[in-house]
Amino acid sequence: MKIQESAENYLESILMITERKGEVRSIDIVNELEFSKPSVSIAMKNLRENGYILVDKDGYISLTDKGRVIAEKMYERHKLFSELFVRLGVDRSIAVKDACRVEHILSDETFAAIKDYAAKMGVTVE
């Protein structure tokens, strides 16, 4: 099932914040994405209702297995494209913004081919 790009961005952000801080609340996502509290609240409700996240009684957000699969996929793409664009000479801030756009539109097949080619050129990400 294909989910919207905005949902992919939210899931990826939850993963990134979790890796940095160990825990995530809605306010962390507000600060990370610079979205309004109501927008994030609505998005979290939709992600929870669709089985991508869990929210505990204290408001801490975690990814379900289903949500983690999507988040990790987007984050891998984001890291690879960011690094690839920087290696091509693009300023890091622009590379990161462009990677955020590109990561959502490519097919799995095309991404796999780019990833293989990048690896042959010595561009890898952990």
Summarised one tens digit per residue, pLDDT across range 11-63 is 999 999 999 999 999 999 999 999 999 999 999 999 999 999 999 999 999 99
With a cut of 50, say whether residue 125 has pLDDT above it.
yes
Q: For residue 119, what are its two tokens?
A: 């690896």
> Mean pLDDT, the chain, as a whole number?
93
Beta strands in 15-123 (DSSP E): 53-55, 61-63
Domain ranges of the chain: 5-69, 77-120
User: 5-69: what CATH class?
Assistant: mainly alpha
